[in-house]
Structure formats: C-alpha cells, structure tokens
Structure 1
Amino acid sequence: MTAMAERRSQMSVEEFETIAAAAPETVTLEFVNGRIGVKKVADGDHSTIVSWLARRCMRARPDLDLYYGRGLRVEACREGRAKPDAVLAPEAHFAGHGEWAAPDGALMVVQVTSYDSDTDRRDRHEKPTAYGQAGIPLYVLIDRDSCTVMVHSNPDRQVGGYRDIRTSKFGETVALPDPIGIELDTEILKNYVR
C-alpha cells in the first residue's frame, strides 16, 4: 500500500479484521476504499430476492454454488474487504477458506440495495469499482430504489469497474452473460420493493 493510501485509510486491514470478528450478528462490516462500512441486517424482501436468485441459479447451473455473505478480499493488493449479498462460484470453491477469501473463482457477485443512507456510495460506486479491479466477471446490482437490475460485465482490472453495464427494468428478462449464461425473468421482483 502506498503512503498516500495509508494516510487516507481509517485503519489497517488487520485492525479492521479484528473489529469485524467481534461485531455482533446484527451488522455486517466491510472495508472498502480504506473506510469501514456498516450494513444492517437485511430485511425480509431483501433476503427473499437473494433466495429467489439462488433458486434460479441452482436450477440453471447445478455445477455452481451461491454463497451468502461470503467475505472477499478486494481492491488493489487485496487491501479491501467486502461481503456481497451473494457470490456465485464453482461448487465447493470456498471450502476450507477463512472468513475473507481471494476473489479468484468468483464468477458473479450480487448486491441487493438496502434502504440506508450509504447505499448509493457503497453499492452503485465503490463496490463495482472494487469488484471490477478484482477481476470478478459479473457484478449484478438489484436496485430496489430504481426497480432495475444492472448487469456489469467485462471487468477493468486497471482502473476498476466494468466496461459494459446493461440495465433492465423489473419485469424484463435479464441475460447473465458468460461465464454464467442464464436468463432471469424478473417480474416477481416488483413484489419486493417499498
């Protein structure tokens, strides 16, 4: 890590991991862009969306597992720690890994927006940058505020983020390109927004 990045960072990764390990189950902690982030426990609609996605993925791709809350080391030099709502990877890929695994092998990460004040910064800006830089092939953002599904593909490892972003309204069919190669009918997602 550069001296400039160390000055901007709230703490070291080691300090963050110590704090995260002691956090109560009512929150999830992440460390992206040198800042600690707190996510509240997901509401019922949020969890239902992730379960809906898991069923669709497992039915279409039984060779893959959808992990919930899987901690990933992201950002340059793996100095960030993120817990996406779901990570799609080959079956048993994360077996034997600790709380924070390398993103290698993750084929897709998924975020479902929450109704909290830092969703915009975290889910729409910081996370796509970090996941793209980590080389994760797909980032799917299920955005309950705009009632859209954004599929980010073609990661840019140099600057972070993704070169291609396709946005679909809830109710449309969403294509998840390779390496997933499935389609999702998103009509039911209309039921899970405020």
Structure 2
Amino acid sequence: MTAISERPQMLPEQFEEFARHLGRTVEGIRLEFINGKLGIKPVPDGDHGRIVQWLLRRCIQARPELYLHDQGLKLEGYRDGRARPDGTLADADAFVGCGDWAPTSGVLMVAEVTSYDSDTDRRDRVEKPRAYAEAGIPVYLLIDRDSAEVVVHSQPDGVRYETVHTLPFGKAVRLPEPVGISLDTEPLKNWVR
C-alpha cells in the first residue's frame, strides 16, 4: 500500500494546467507541486507580506542588480516539482520570457516565511529545504515566525544543505555567497504573533 501513496498524484504538466485554470477562477491561493503531491499555500497575512517587503528592500539596497521575484520554479530534480517561494533572488531580468514556472538556473536564493497553518512544518522545514538543495539553489532563507528565528541553509550537495545556521530575530545574519548580504533582523520582531 505504501507504493500507491508514494506515487505522484499527477504529472507536472497536469499540475501546470490545473494551476493555470484554477488561478483564473479562485483568487488568493497559491498552488505547489512538491514531492509528487499537490499542495495549497494559505493566503499570506499582512505580517507575512510585510516581512517579504522588508526582505525585498534589504536585497535591493545591498545588491541593486538583483531582484526578489515572485516567480514559480521548476524543481526538476525533486520529482518534477513546482514551487512558488515567497521570494526568489536572482538577476532583475532572470525570468524575462519565462511562463508561470521557470528553471532554477541563475537563482541565488529562495526565501520562505512561515505561515500559521498546520502544514508549515512539513512544507517549509522539511520538504522545501530538500527540494531546493536538490535543485542546487545556493541559499535557502527561512524566516520562521513560529520560533522567531532566521534559518540560513547553504552549500547544497544535491540532496540536502550541508550548512544550516539558526539565529533568533534581532541578531545580524550574513547570507553567504553568492548572495553576500547582511541583514539586521531586529524589525522581524514587529511582525510575529
């Protein structure tokens, strides 16, 4: 029976068509296809959005040639997955000409901000670090509102991130190369429950 539950629920092409259709009819949801399974991210709350805005501004100030995109990514190495990170740091023109789901080449960092839902542990702390490491994305930044911590994953080896640094909100965080940005995380304390 486990073999059936481990099989993908649908093919990536089917997911893309489903997501394209549903996105036109239901506003405010984000669909993902990770580990062969369909997932729905909750509509971000105002604090979540403010954290993404804060990160966008910090990235642009430190590295004006880059942009924190809201771009869906094809995670080919991870069971043909599709993820829509809260932020994808890449060259400003990295996704020009791409559709809803772009390849990960040129992505320097992905960022996720935890949501207050029952699925965030599995999604943001387990499945996504693995998926992003398998895709070879150099840095995965998790802003964890539940624990009031910033978790920086780096040095992907194709299976997992070899280095993981966890710091409480309020500490200075250095995002390793190729990102090379320092963040003062003190403001994050204002946007947690």
The TM-score normalised by the length of structure 1 is 0.93
- The answer to whether the Cα contact below 8 Å between 1:75 and 1:130 also exists between their aligned partners in 2 is no
3-state SS of paired residue (1:17)? helix
Report the CA distance shift for 1:60/1:139 in structure 2 as closer, same or farther (over 3 A): same
Shift of 1:25: 2.2
| Separation of aligned partners in 2, 1:75 and 1:193 | 34
| Separation of aligned partners in 2, 1:60 and 1:77 | 31
Report the CA distance shift for 1:7/1:168 in structure 2 as closer, same or farther (over 3 A): closer
Is 1:36 the counterpart of 2:35? The answer is: no
Q: Which runs of 5+ in 2 are unaligned?
A: none
Residue of 35, 44, 47 corresponding to 1:45? 47
75-84 vs 102-111, greater mean Cα deviation: 75-84
- The answer to whether the Cα contact below 8 Å between 2:88 and 2:110 also exists between their aligned partners in 1 is yes
User: Between Structure 1 and Structure 2, how many residues are aligned?
Assistant: 188
Report the CA distance shift for 1:60/1:116 in structure 2 as closer, same or farther (over 3 A): same
* Corresponding residue number in structure 2 for 1:64: 66
* Corresponding residue number in structure 2 for 1:100: 101
**Amino acid in the other structure paired with 2:185:** T
- The answer to whether the Cα contact below 8 Å between 2:60 and 2:66 also exists between their aligned partners in 1 is yes
Report the CA distance shift for 1:188/1:11 in structure 2 as closer, same or farther (over 3 A): same
Report the CA distance shift for 1:77/1:49 in structure 2 as closer, same or farther (over 3 A): closer
Q: CA offsets, 1:119-150, max 9 Å, x none?
A: 00000000000000000000000000000000
**Amino acid in the other structure paired with 2:65:** D
* Corresponding residue number in structure 2 for 1:13: 12
- The answer to whether the Cα contact below 8 Å between 2:108 and 2:139 also exists between their aligned partners in 1 is yes
The root-mean-square deviation of aligned C-alpha atoms, in Å, is: 1.5
| Separation of aligned partners in 2, 1:147 and 1:75 | 32
**Amino acid in the other structure paired with 1:63:** E
- The answer to whether the Cα contact below 8 Å between 1:10 and 1:36 also exists between their aligned partners in 2 is yes
**Amino acid in the other structure paired with 2:105:** D
Aligned pairs for 1:38-187 within 5 A: 38-68=40-70, 70-76=71-77, 79-157=80-158, 160-187=159-186
| Separation of aligned partners in 2, 1:8 and 1:96 | 32
| Separation of aligned partners in 2, 1:37 and 1:18 | 15
Q: Which runs of 5+ in 1 are unaligned?
A: none
Instruction: Give the % identical residues.
Output: 56
3-state SS of paired residue (2:123)? helix
| Separation of aligned partners in 1, 2:172 and 2:38 | 35
73-82 vs 110-119, greater mean Cα deviation: 73-82
Shift of 1:77: 6.6
Report the CA distance shift for 1:66/1:109 in structure 2 as closer, same or farther (over 3 A): same
3-state SS of paired residue (1:22)? helix
Shift of 1:18: 1.4
The TM-score normalised by the length of structure 2 is 0.93
- The answer to whether the Cα contact below 8 Å between 1:75 and 1:131 also exists between their aligned partners in 2 is no
Q: CA offsets, 1:46-73, max 9 Å, x none?
A: 00000000000000000111102x1001
